[in-house]
């Protein structure tokens, strides 16, 4: 009695969950960085006028 498929599925879910969360944080960070760059650019242009 080994039931390796259950052990395999548990591994897939654990690692999938961890990497999915890390990927989501990274994506959110990139989107915020883009916003931050755009805002800083807009502020710089506004100050130059």
Partner 1 sequence: MSDETKESGPLLIWFTAVAFLIGMAAIFIYAPTEQMEGAVQRIMYFHIPAAWLAFFSFFIVFISSILFLWKKEREWDIYALASAEIGVIFCSLVLITGPLWARPIWGAWWVWDARLTSTLILWLIYVSYLMLRYQTDVGSMRARFAAVLGIVGFLDIPFIHFSVLWWRTFHPPPKMISPEGLGAGMDPSMVTTLMLSLGAFTLLYFVLMGQRIKVEKMRDEVERLKKDYLYTN
Binding site for partner 1 (CB under 8 A): 1-4, 6-7, 9-11, 13-14, 17-18, 21-22, 25-26, 28-29, 32-33, 35-36, 39-40, 42-43, 46
44: nearest Cα among 25, 36, 14: 36
In whole angstroms, give the CA distance from residue 9 to residue 17: 12
Of the pair 6, 48, the CB lying nearest partner 1 is at 6
- In this structure, the dihedral spanned by the alpha carbons of residues 20, 22, 24 and 28, taken in order and rounded to 10 degrees, is -170
Of the pair 46, 48, the CB lying nearest partner 1 is at 46
Of the pair 42, 48, the CB lying nearest partner 1 is at 42
């Amino acid at each position: 009695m080994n039931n390796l498929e259950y052990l395999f599925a548990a591994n897939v879910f654990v690692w999938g969950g961890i990497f999915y969360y890390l990927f989501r944080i990274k994506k959110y960070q990139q989107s915020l960085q883009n916003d931050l760059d755009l805002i800083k650019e807009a502020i710089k242009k506004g100050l130059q006028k």
